[in-house]
Amino acid sequence: MLRPPAVTELMTPAETVDPETNALAVARTLDDPDVESVVVVEGGEVVGIVTQSDAVALLVDHRDPDALTAADVMSSPVHTVDADESIVAAAERLRTHGIGSLPVLDDEGLVGIVTAGLLSQYIPHVRRPARDAGTTEAAVRRTDRADTAYEKPDWEFEYVGHQGHIDVGDVVRFSKPLDEDEVEEFADASGDTNRLHLDDEYARGTRFGRRIVHGTLVAGVVSAALARLPGLIVYLSQEVSYLGPVDIGERVTAECEVVEEMGDDRYRLTTTVTDSDGETVIDGEAVVIADPIPETA
């Protein structure tokens, strides 16, 4: 697993104008399907941004773009991202603020732009709007034992959602350490005996400089979180992007959020795993079926 690339590796050149540029000229630039936004720059400083939706708003409001300037139609202040930040940080900023583009800045000023469309090819969750899970009257918070065969003292979980059934906005979190014994047991059970995970001397010569946990073992914590949703949860599919390594003995936390009810008891969820520093090491999506819990004696 590798650290996510910096935004400079994915950014594209930014289309720029000064504040006095005619708004019609800006709209014509945005008519290019490859141009999602135009950055307004004054004296080397980013002062605003005009997007395709801003251009559409001019028509909806019956405003004459030929009588307006970029300064009249731009959004300001502008959310930006530093050139040395990762694409994960950029994706979270886009998602948090509900925007589609981020100008990229370094010490010299504007160096490019990253967009939601481009980042979504690498990080699935940038496609999804932020949600405030568990805000309905029916929402409940549960941290007691779920419908699992057993729990261990160093495992933690939290479910924020609807009592007895799944609904959009529900969130489940599961946290546990991934220790030495588990890494060795997983290697034996899976057959993945890559020395990167098992041999200290060998691992020191790799790009990581030390042994790390199997990526699939880390992803397994997502399955543990899903098992603590209401009902009998059955996987249909899982999309995974590995964004960073996990050290042996580190505690990781999986968070799964229901984002779509697909019918026939099928649900689509976002699935992320963070390390003990809160860095996202896995991102993806899952589709599951939620069957009724079978009756037992």
| Per-residue model confidence as pLDDT tens digits over 34-44 | 888 999 999 99
* Domain residue extents for the chain: 7-127, 139-291
Q: Is 4 exposed, middle or buried (0-12, 13-18, 19+ CB in 10 A)?
A: buried
* String of DSSP letters for 17-65: E-TTSBHHHHHHHHTSTT--EEEEEETTEEEEEEEHHHHHHHHHTT--G
In which residue are the tokens 């599919």 written? Answer: 237
Q: C-alpha angle with apex 90: 72 to 168, nearest 5 degrees?
A: 95
pLDDT of residue 230: 86
**208: closest CA among 220, 199, 196, 218?**
196
pLDDT of residue 135: 42
pLDDT of residue 9: 84
| Per-residue model confidence as pLDDT tens digits over 141-164 | 666 655 677 788 889 988 888 767
**Fold topology of 7-127:** CBS-domain (3.10.580)
Distance (Å, whole) CA 155 – CA 151: 7
Of the options 3.20.20.70, 3.30.43.10, 3.10.129.10, 3.40.50.300, the CATH number for the domain spanning 139-291: 3.10.129.10
Mean pLDDT in order along the chain per 10 residues (297 residues): 71 93 88 88 93 70 75 90 87 81 92 84 54 48 65 86 82 94 94 96 95 96 92 90 94 95 92 94 94 69
* Beta pairing partners, 234: 289
**270: closest CA among 225, 233, 212?**
225
In which residue are the tokens 């979270």 written? Answer: 92
